[in-house]
C-alpha cells in the first residue's frame, strides 16, 4: 500500500534570508493537502522543492518512504499546474491535453482514449478542436487541469490555480475541482493564500508563516481551535488581548482588560486571549458583560460586521444579518460566553 508523500525537515535560505525552516508534513494517498499562508511565507518554494525544480539546503522529500533527492523532476511522476496555466497558444484543446502523453511511449490510440477520458472528466466534451485563446477563463482552467491529470501523476501540485478568477467563478470551479479530484482519487498539494479556498477543498491544511509551520490540521480544527495568535489573526480573528491566568481559591481565572472570569486551563501566567468574532450577543445574559458604542457597521451578506469601542479597547464582532441590529453610534451592552474565549501561552 502506498505511503504517499513525506516532506522531512526542509531547510532553505537565499543568502542570509531563511526561507524555509524545519518544514515537515505528510500527504496520504488520495488526500488533498493545502499549503496556506500569506505571500512570501514559503509555500511556493516548498512546492518547487517537492517538484524538484529547486534544491533544498537540508531535509528530504520521500515518496512511499524512498528519497527523491537525486531524482530528476520528470522522473518523479508529479504533475504541476501553475496560476498562469502555461497553455500552448498554438495548440488546440486536444493537443494541449495530449502533449505530455506523447512522452509516455503510448500508442496514438491510447493517447486518444486517455484524452477523451479527461476531457469528459472536466466537462469539455465537444471542444477538442477549439482554439485555447478563444476559451473563457474557466474553460482554460479546465484544459490546464485536464493536461495535468492526463499523464496520471501520482501527486498533483496546484499552485494558486484559481487566483486570477473572480470570486463567483472561483467558488463554482472549486466545487467542481474537488469533485474531479475525488473521482480520480488523486493525491494533491494545493497552494493558496485564500483561506476560504483552502477550507472548501482541503482535507488537511498546512498553515505557514515566514518559512515555518504554524499549524497542521483539518479546516474545521484550524478554524475552531487555532494553535497560535498568528493563526487566529490570519483567519480574521482580531480580538486579541494580553491577559493572565491566575489560580485563586483553587479555581483558575482569566484576568484581562474586559474583566475577570473563571477559565479552565492548564496554562499559567501571561497569555494572549482571543474573543471570537461570533461570540457576542446583545443584552444581559450569562457570561462576561461588555459595554460599548458601535463605531462602524458593515453589511457582509449573511452577516453584519460591527466595530465596537469599549473602555478597554476596540472589538470586532459578527451578527446574523436578519437580526434587527442597532445603528452606528448606539450604546450597547454585550455578553460573551466564556466558551467563546480561547487563550494562548504568551509568545
Spell out the domain ranges in the chain.
5-234, 240-345
> Binning pLDDT at 50, 70 and 90, where does residue 94 land?
very high
Question: Looking at residue 3, what is its pLDDT?
Answer: 82
| Phi and psi at residue 156, to the nearest 5° | -110, 125
Nearest CA among 124, 187, 177 for reference residue 152: 187
User: Is pLDDT of 66 > 70?
Assistant: yes
C-alpha cell at 208: 505557514
> Binning pLDDT at 50, 70 and 90, where does residue 246 land?
very high
pLDDT tens digits, 283-300? 877 889 999 999 999 998
pLDDT tens digits, 105-137? 889 999 999 999 999 999 899 999 999 999 988
Buried b (16+ CB within 10 A) or exposed e, 181-196: beebebbbbbbbbbbe
Question: Looking at residue 172, what is its pLDDT?
Answer: 85
User: Is pLDDT of 84 > 80?
Assistant: no
User: Is pLDDT of 192 > 70?
Assistant: yes
% of the chain surpassing 90 pLDDT: 78
* Whole-angstrom distance, CA of residue 212 vs CA of residue 215: 9
**What's the half-sphere exposure (Cβ side, CA atoms, 13 Å) at 160?**
13
C-alpha cell at 29: 494517498
HEC sequence for the chain: CCCCEEEEEEEEEECCEEEEEEEEEEECCCCEEEEECCCCCCHHHHHHHHHCCCCCCEEEEEECCEECCCCCHHHCCEEEECCCCCCCCCCEHHHHHHHHHHHCCCCHHHHHHHHHHHHHHCCCCCCCCCEHHHCCHHHHHHHHHHHHHCCCCCEEEEECCCCCCCHHHHHHHHHHHHHHHHHCCCCEEEEECCHHHHHHHCCEEEEEECCEEEEEECHHHHHHCCCCHHHHHHCCCCCEEEEEEEEECCEEEEEECCEEEECCCCCCEEEEEEECCCCEEECCCCCEEEEEEEEEEEECCCEEEEEEEECCEEEEEEEECCCCCCCCCCEEEEEECHHHEEEEECC
Q: Report whether 274 contacts 225 (CB < 8 A).
A: no
Question: Looking at residue 300, what is its pLDDT?
Answer: 87
pLDDT tens digits, 168-182? 888 888 998 999 999
User: Is pLDDT of 255 > 80?
Assistant: yes
User: Is pLDDT of 155 > 90?
Assistant: yes
User: Is pLDDT of 164 > 80?
Assistant: no
Q: What CATH number was assigned to the domain covering residues 5-234?
A: 3.40.50.300
> Binning pLDDT at 50, 70 and 90, where does residue 1 land?
low
* Whole-angstrom distance, CA of residue 139 vs CA of residue 168: 15
Fold adopted by 240-345: OB fold (Dihydrolipoamide Acetyltransferase, E2P) (2.40.50)
Amino acid at each position: 500500500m502506498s505511503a504517499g508523500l513525506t516532506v522531512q525537515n526542509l531547510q532553505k535560505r537565499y543568502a542570509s534570508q531563511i526561507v524555509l525552516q524545519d518544514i515537515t508534513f505528510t500527504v496520504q494517498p488520495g488526500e488533498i493537502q493545502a499549503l496556506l499562508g500569506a505571500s512570501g511565507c514559503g509555500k511556493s518554494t516548498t512546492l518547487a522543492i517537492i517538484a524538484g525544480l529547486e534544491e533544498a539546503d537540508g531535509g528530504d522529500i520521500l515518496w512511499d518512504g524512498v528519497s527523491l533527492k537525486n531524482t530528476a523532476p520528470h522522473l518523479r511522476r508529479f504533475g504541476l499546474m501553475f496560476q498562469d496555466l502555461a497553455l500552448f497558444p498554438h495548440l488546440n484543446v486536444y493537443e494541449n491535453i495530449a502533449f505530455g502523453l506523447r512522452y509516455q511511449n503510448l500508442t496514438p490510440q491510447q493517447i486518444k482514449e486517455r484524452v477523451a477520458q479527461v476531457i469528459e472528466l472536466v466537462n469539455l466534451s465537444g471542444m477538442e478542436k477549439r482554439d485555447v485563446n478563444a476559451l473563457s477563463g474557466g474553460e482554460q482552467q479546465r484544459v490546464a487541469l485536464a493536461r495535468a491529470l492526463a499523464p496520471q501523476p501520482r501527486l498533483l501540485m496546484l499552485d494558486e490555480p484559481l487566483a486570477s478568477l473572480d470570486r463567483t467563478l472561483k467558488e463554482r470551479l472549486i466545487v467542481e475541482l474537488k469533485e474531479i479530484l475525488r473521482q480520480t482519487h488523486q493525491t494533491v498539494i494545493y497552494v493558496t493564500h485564500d483561506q476560504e479556498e483552502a477550507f472548501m477543498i482541503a482535507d488537511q491544511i498546512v498553515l505557514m508563516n515566514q518559512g515555518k509551520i504554524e499549524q497542521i490540521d483539518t479546516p474545521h480544527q484550524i478554524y475552531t481551535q487555532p494553535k497560535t495568535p498568528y493563526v487566529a489573526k490570519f483567519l480574521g480573528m482580531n480580538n486579541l488581548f494580553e491577559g493572565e491566568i491566575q489560580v485563586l481559591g483553587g479555581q483558575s481565572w482569566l484576568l484581562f482588560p474586559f474583566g475577570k472570569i473563571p477559565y479552565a486551563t492548564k496554562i499559567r501566567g501571561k497569555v494572549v486571549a482571543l474573543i471570537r468574532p461570533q461570540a457576542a450577543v446583545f443584552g444581559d445574559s450569562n457570561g462576561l458583560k461588555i459595554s460599548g458604542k458601535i463605531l462602524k457597521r458593515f453589511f457582509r451578506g449573511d452577516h453584519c460586521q460591527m466595530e465596537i469601542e469599549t473602555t478597554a479597547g476596540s472589538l470586532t464582532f459578527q451578527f446574523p444579518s436578519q437580526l434587527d441590529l442597532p445603528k452606528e453610534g448606539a450604546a450597547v451592552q454585550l455578553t460573551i460566553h466564556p466558551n467563546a474565549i480561547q487563550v494562548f501561552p504568551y509568545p
